[in-house]
Amino acid sequence: MFNWLEGQQYLDTGFVGVLATLLVVASILFNIKRANKGAKNLFIRRIAGLNAIDDAIGRATEMGRPVLMVPGIGPLDAISVQAVNIFAQITKSAAQFSTPVRLCCASAAVYAYAQEVIRDVYTEQGMNDRFMPETVQFVSDQQFAFAAGVSGMIHREKVAATFLLGQFFAESLIFAETSNAVGAIQVAGSTQSTQTPFFIAACDYVLIGDEFYAASAYMTRDPVLVGSLVGQDWAKIFVAGVIMVGTLGLSAEMTQQTDTHREGNKMVPVSESTGGKATTEKKKAADTAVARVFRPYIPEEMTKDKFTREKKPVPEGAEEGGE
């Protein structure tokens, strides 16, 4: 007989992590479903940076200069996809005013994706002839070559507005200050908290952290996105609640006495650790029940000798496994 939960990740309180992940997943999926069914009362608060987008495009139109968009330099992942999706909305507005658009990519895969999405936007607007090879372009996938290329473009084309949304690293400030030098309006947002302060210092409007993900829900009001956002909020409130309860529980527990301390996956008697000077001490954070929820206690006797397996006659190779 085997136990279904006899897995390394389920031992002791290990299941809590899996459970928490599943709870978050469930709350997101549940709310997406709820929104799809047409729950009308789903509210999203105003996100300041996004209202500036139309002003920025308007200004570019007046000045007859292009709008620059950079989806960060990350590889093709949800962040880049999210950025390109926001840019699709921006392109839609820009296309209506016939304002030229430059979307510069630092990853070939992101380029392939953006090419597809942005071309669709122009096709929808019936403006296929305005979709040029320069509209979406791959500049370089080396970080600073990309920065040099885009800076040169900002200067030469004198862009009127820049949208820097996505995964940015050190090059963030190069783009932001260069755009500032040519007097462009800038809306920026990065999931990298390390770059956000530079955007705050150099740009006109900044999406902070999570606002970046909330942005497309706010702009499109697509039920899937709105529902997902609500689900995320539920998860956040849940986590905040857990932290509050945990803080109180931990605090209360730490006023109690104990005669053994937990050190990693062993329990050490106080008398031993103090050299016999004391037999009881106040509980430390690691000794509490709250800690155990987050750090499963798996002493050796739980694993050792309980799981003996036969050895392979000839050890199999490292790259065993398949597609």
Partner 1 sequence: MTIWEKMQKIDRRILYGILVVCVCIGLFFPSTIRTDPDPSSKSFYAAVQKLPKGSTIIVQTDWTNSTRGESLGHFENLMRLLMNGEHKFVFYSAADPAAPQVARTVLARIVAERKSQGLREYKVGEDYVDLGFFPNAEATNTSMGANLKAAWAGRKSKTPSGTEIDIFKTPVLANVNRIEDCQMMIVITASQSIDIAVQRLAQKIDITALVTGVVGPTVLPFYQSDQIKGVAVGLKGVYDIEYLMEYGIDDVKIEGQPYATAGKEGPVPKTEIGTRFSRGRQYYGTLHVALTLLILAVVMGNVAMFAARRRKGEKV
Partner 2 sequence: MNLNYDVIKITAGVIATIGLYSILYKENRFYRLFEHIFLGLAAGYTIVATWKDTLYPQWWQKMMGQVAEGDNPAVPGYWVYAALLPIGLLAYLVFNRKHNWMSKIPIGVILGLWSGQQVQVWWNTWGPQIFASMQPIIPTTFSPLAVPSRMEVVGGQVLPIADADRLAAVQQQITNNLYLTQALTNFIFVITFLSAFSYFIFSFELKGKLMTGVNKFGRWMLMIGFGAIFGSTVMARFALVIDRMAYIVIEWVQALTRGV
Partner 3 sequence: MNLFPMMLGQVVEESFWKRLPGPALYGFLVLGLLFGIGLCFALSRVPSNMRRWVIVSFTFLAGLPYVAAYLWPIPVAADFQTEIPRNGVESVGFFLNQAMDPVGTITNIIQGFLLGVGFYSLVRIHLTKVKRKQENWGFSIVLLTCFVLMAGFGLRDWQIRTFMDDTGALNVRDNWTFVNYAQDFLFEGLYQQMDSAMFSMIAFFILSAAYRAFRVRSVEATVMMASALILMLNLMGALTFAQGSAINELAGNTNNLFLLNFKINTFADWLRSTMQIPAIRAIDFGVGLGALAMGLRLWLGLEKGGVT
Name residues contacting partner 3, limited to 218-277 (CB under 8 A): 222, 224, 228-229, 231-232, 235-236, 239
Other CB atoms within 10 Å distance of the CB of residue 314: 6
Determine, following the binding rule CB under 8 A, whether residue 322 of this chain makes contact with partner 3: yes
- Name which of residues 94 to 153 contact partner 1 (CB under 8 A): 143-144
Residue range at the interface with partner 1 (CB under 8 A); choices 155-163, 223-231, 235-243, 315-323: 315-323
Query: What does the alpha-carbon distance between residue 208 and residue 210 come to, in Å, rounded to a whole number?
Result: 6
Site for partner 1 in 188-247 (CB under 8 A): 193-194
In 3D space, the residue among 243, 212, 205 whose CA is nearest the CA of residue 229 turns out to be: 212
Q: Which residues of 71-82 are buried (b: 16+ CB within 10 A; e: fewer)?
A: bbbbebeebbbb
230 binds, among partner 1, partner 3, partner 2, none (CB under 5 to 8 A by kind): partner 2
Q: Contact 66/60 with Cβ under 8 angstroms? A: yes
CA 147 to CA 140: how far, in whole Å? 9
Q: Is 53 in the site for partner 3 (CB under 8 A)?
A: no
Nearer Cβ to partner 3, position 82 or 99? 82
According to CB under 8 A, which residues from 4 to 33 bind partner 3? 4-11, 18, 21, 24-25, 28-29, 32
The backbone torsions φ and ψ at residue 111, rounded to the nearest 5 degrees and listed phi first, read -60, -45
Contacts of 14 (CB under 8 A, 6+ apart): 8, 296, 298
CA dihedral 58, 62, 66, 67 (to 10 degrees): -20
Q: Which of 37, 38, 46, 193 binds partner 3 (CB under 8 A)?
A: 193
Count residues near partner 3 (CB under 8 A).
Answer: 98
Which of the listed partners (partner 3, partner 2, partner 1, none) does 169 bind, with a CB threshold of 5 to 8 Å by partner kind?
partner 1
Nearer to partner 1, 58 or 75 (CB): 75
Residues 72 and 164: their CA atoms lie apart, in Å, by 7
- Measured from the CB atom, the residue of 122 and 212 that comes closer to partner 3 is 212
Chosen residue from 13, 93, 137, 273 binding partner 3 by CB under 8 A: 137
DSSP 8-state secondary structure symbol assigned to residue 319: T
Q: Which is nearer to partner 3, 56 or 150 (CB)?
A: 150
- Name, in order, each residue with C-beta under 8 angstroms of 218's C-beta and a sequence gap of 6 or more: 44, 47, 50
Report the partner that residue 126 touches, choosing among partner 3, partner 1, partner 2, none (CB closer than 5 to 8 A by kind): none
What span, in angstroms and rounded, lies between the C-alpha atoms of 267 and 53?
59
Restricting to residues 122-151, which ones interact with partner 2 according to CB under 8 A?
A: 139-142, 144-146, 148-149, 151
Which parts of this chain interact with partner 1 (CB under 8 A)? Answer: 143-144, 169-170, 181, 193-194, 317-320
